[in-house]
Chain A
Amino acid sequence: MNWDLIFTQMFSQAFGVNAMVYALAAIGLNIHFGYTGLLNFGQVGFMAAGAYGVAMTVFWLNWNFWLGIGIGVIFCVVLALILGVPTLRLRADYLGITTIAASESIRLFVRWRGNRERTGAAEGINDFADSFFALNVFDKPGNESYQFLFFEYRANDLWVMLVGWIVVAFCVLINWQLIRSPWGRVLKAIREDEDAARSLGKNAYSYKLQALVLGGVIGGFGGMLQVISKQSVQPDTFNPVITFLIWTIVIIGGVGKVWSPVVGSIIYWGLISLMITFMRELIGTGAGPNLDRFLNLSILNVDQLRFVIFGGALMLLMWFRPQGIFGSREEMALDDR
């Protein structure tokens, strides 16, 4: 049993690219759900919009990569408007079904073979972010890894992480400032009691739309950084399970708190990596054959455990501690509206 590997994996994953990407997506969802009470089941659609905005600009239009970032943001805003304008008047569960349907429609549309020249269809788009990695301050020949303490990152990942965590910090800051502004207080008021907010002359619909756009754009940044880090965008990575992973992260951290999405993401990726690497190592020890015989656990299906664990975690958290680790019950107004 290689404890060194287990802890290196855990700490590296806890602060790695995935944790950063999902922190961003979760900050967006927290604005939707945590502060405004919007039941967005299609956050992965915003990630896809951002990701494809960047990749398509380079691949299809042959434009500058940096312009692509702007296009990605525009895609997210447009998606939020298309989704929000007709559906924000609907009841909460209808909004949920509509958003999940929209995110699946996006996935089906970009993987359609008729879009091969624009989106790369099912094969996706590769190697579009060279201009981003040209600026890599940690560049090492052959993309070798850096090691310090328990951390180990490839040179390119380290560069993505540096930029990404700065974006995360920036989004948290914006989030914090906005929520303590009058604008943020209106959002919370809408979450608590939409009719009351309306009766005070606030245009709830417009505020909800603004929250949807803001959270969507932040989620879009997450999607962009995810595909930039891999230099590859694939339609099938944007499946609905990702949305619910983001939900789990928001609920772990605590709904409606500024820091909670970031903390939730770090905890989730650290813990999952700890458990899965441990299991992998355990299978390699003498216990392996017995695990296979009695629990049907082998190297072939150990990765499925990640989803079993997070599905169970989502259920139990929602049941016993819907406010998460740091949230408070008062911030958790889950109601039928």
Chain B
Amino acid sequence: MKKLQFISGLAIVLLSFVGLTAPAWSQTEQEINGRLQIRTADGERVPAEGVIITVDGVGEAISDADGVWSVSVPEPGIYTVFVDEETLPDGVSLRTVGRSSLEVEVEAGKPKTALFSLVEGEGTAAGTNTSEGITGRRIAQLTVEGLKQGLYLAMAAVGLSLIYGTTGLVNFAHAELVTWGGLMTYFFNYYGLAGMIGFLAPLPAPFGGGSNLIFAAFFGMIAGGAMGYLLDRFLFRTLRRQGVSLIAQMVITIGLSILMRYAFVYFFGGSPRSFRNFTAQSAIDIGPVQITPKDLIAMGISTVVLLAIGGLLTFTRIGKAMRAVSDNRDLAESSGIDVQRVISTVWIFGGSVAALGGVFFGLDQVKWDFGFRILLLIFAAVTLGGLGTAYGALVGAIVIGLVVNLSTLFIDPELKNMIALLSMVLVLMFRPQGLLGKAERIG
């Protein structure tokens, strides 16, 4: 099907080279709009009329009786929208003091909404956080959040670390395997297997229509493993055989990562989406901590999976082979281990575990670049634990998750990822082999 689509698409492109006499296309209109509402003291929302909104360099609009305003803009791009604070009704102010302008990115032919929050009375200053201060309750909450992020990160990190261990390759495209898993799960969640094979559509779930997220996640893991296998089989195995240097391979993974990421946004679009099941859950209280049931279950599953990975690496034949190849490839090969097969297994394994990580990260929202956003955290986890050591990646991921979340006790949450990156740099400087790595001469 896909192939047919591709060929016919190509044919159309080629044909259109010939008689290109079609009229110049008219640019569709796009606009920036919004609805101004005032949150009153009792929490109700009332429309704000007569407020002047200016779009920089384009024009202005006045909100009507429903608080609705719109400004049409000539072309897609980034615009700055200002609200004229002088024209706000008496006794009404911006919820965040000073936030009177917004940057919005307008896509061609689409309306874009710019939201300004208004409150009765005085607004609060930017950066004031209601949950300031170091309390036991906050520490407990952040520890759980940190454990959660650490467990999910570990799913992504373990594959990266094993791939580095067995092949020496730093795979910048690993985050795209995370995204791939999340996106494929979304796809199966909404379209089931029928999405791939059209005639299955009338069959009941999980074949026709959407399948439950649990099935979908399972299919997503298979898709992740398949992607890992294909990348190794058709790209990296060839590169290894041709003797392309590891640094060149690393740059190739960077190209691959950009290619995959923008292919995702090309097909999936730029807006974030949610899985069909388990979306709007309210948090439950467990002791001092609030957590949604889905996150609790996901944390449970990831703990089990990570323990299973540990067991697999320690006790099974293939796990021992993986560690042997990581330790010393030549020695492993001369002891009769089929290194190519081990590498292939590592890619399949890494791909499917990363896909499961993508499902867990995607419980909040699925987006084309949500894997890339955590790439540097994955790197931080892997280098902290020691590049190439599987157990190290697990430990490093949990440490990074805890450090990132607990650091918000002292610093602005906006800077929390920076803390992770800086701690990685510090580790590289003072203990480049990581927490669990073997000391060797590096550099």
Contacts and interface: CB of A to CB of B under 8 A. Distances in A.
A109 B256 CA distance: 28
Given A87-B429, A91-B443, A291 B412 contact: no
A154 B424 CA distance: 45
Nearest to B96: A113
Given A87-B429, A334-B247, A335-B245, A301 B252 contact: no
Contacts of B257: 311
B110 A1 contact: no
Nearest to B78: A234
Interface in B108-163: 108-110, 126-127
Contact of A311 (B101, B247, B256): B256
B379 interface: yes
A122 B412 CA distance: 15
A304 B262 contact: yes
Contact of B252 (A39, A241, A315): A315
A318 B267 contact: no
Contacts of B259: 307-308, 311-312, 315
Nearest to B22: A285
A288 B24 CA distance: 12
Interface in B247-294: 247-248, 250-252, 254-263, 265-267, 269
Chain A interface SS verdict (over half) = helix
A307 B254 CA distance: 12
Contact of B258 (A111, A296, A311): A311
Contacts of A96: 170, 250
Task: Point out which of A234, A296, A308 has the most chain B C-beta atoms below 10 A from its C-beta.
Answer: A308
Interface residues of A, number: 66
A296 B266 contact: yes
B15 interface: yes
Given A39-B247, A244-B258, A308 B412 contact: no
A285 to B, nearest CB: 4
A74 interface: no
B412 A299 contact: no
B254 A314 contact: yes
A111 B25 CA distance: 39
B13 A291 contact: yes
Interface of B: 5-6, 8-9, 12-13, 15-16, 20, 22, 24-25, 28, 78, 80, 101, 103, 107-110, 126-127, 168, 170, 239, 244-248, 250-252, 254-263, 265-267, 269, 376, 379-380, 383, 412, 414-415, 417-418, 421-422, 424-425, 428-429, 432, 442-443
Given A282-B16, A299-B109, 19 more contacts: A90-B443, A92-B247, A101-B424, A101-B425, A102-B421, A104-B418, A116-B126, A241-B258, A244-B254, A283-B25, A285-B16, A287-B22, A291-B13, A295-B5, A301-B266, A307-B261, A307-B262, A308-B258, A319-B252
Interface of A: 1-2, 39, 41, 86-87, 89-94, 96-98, 100-102, 104-105, 108-109, 111-114, 116, 122-123, 234, 241, 244, 247-248, 282-288, 290-291, 294-296, 299-301, 304-305, 307-308, 310-316, 318-319, 322, 334-336
